[in-house]
Amino acid sequence: MAPMRSNVSKRPNITAKLALGAFLAALALPGAANAMPWSWDMFTQPSYKAQEDLPPARPEGVVPASGHTYVKDRADSARLKSPVEPTSASLERGEAMYKRYCAPCHGDTGKGEGLVGQKYVAPTDLTTEYVQKKPDGDIYYTITSGGLAIMPSYGDSVAEADRWHIVNYIKNNLVPRAATPVSASK
């Protein structure tokens, strides 16, 4: 009985060593490991592929009802005229959107004291004459396409109308707000 038992206990040992060897070999050969079925089985599936079929026919007489404002570059943006009057509703909306999208860097005052602005590269002070004298379209362009150097673009996240509301807020209310202490403005 005793010799048999020792035989049985040795077999798993050899199997484990073989398995480990095979595993290490697979690791050493990434090409071979990638050829395992689980690395490509998601490719062969019965899903519908893009452009596989013709697009549905467009109903007759249909034309696009809206489009995007096209600007070639920053210089070209100066000609844009804001389609949004700086009404109190626009300024209110602009302030809310400014606080959501711009204040994290530029700060509630526009001077660059936002929490991200302090850690990131110092943002341009939006209360300076340099920014305040800019054409509306130039600021619109900055929101849409980003700053001169590293400010990211917000064209993907801020709707076109909201960009103009933000421009209205920066041009009309940001400086007076910046002059008012935060506690007094509430």
Contact yes or no for 104/115 (Cβ under 8 A)? yes
Q: How far is CA 177 from CA 51, 81, 124, 186, in A?
A: 52, 25, 17, 11
Shortest distance, CB of residue 139 to ligand HEC, whole angstroms? Answer: 5
4 or 150, CB closer to ligand HEC? Answer: 150
116 binds ligand HEC (CB under 6 A): yes
Report the alpha-carbon distance of residue 27 to residue 139 in Å, rounded: 54
131 binds ligand HEC (CB under 6 A): yes
For ligand HEC, which stretch binds (CB under 6 A), given 22-30, 47-55, 86-94, 123-131? Answer: 123-131
102 binds ligand HEC (CB under 6 A): yes
Which residue in 176, 84, 98, 93 sits closest to 132, CA to CA? 176
**Amino acid symbol at 26:** A
Cβ neighbour number for residue 21 with a 10 Å cutoff: 10
166 binds ligand HEC (CB under 6 A): yes
User: Residue from 82, 90, 109, 124 that binds ligand HEC (CB under 6 A)?
Assistant: 124
Which residue in 167, 168, 145, 169 sits closest to 156, CA to CA? 145
Shortest distance, CB of residue 38 to ligand HEC, whole angstroms? Answer: 40
| Contact residues for ligand HEC, defined by CB under 6 A | 101-102, 104-106, 116, 120-121, 123-124, 126, 131, 139, 142-143, 147-152, 154, 158, 166
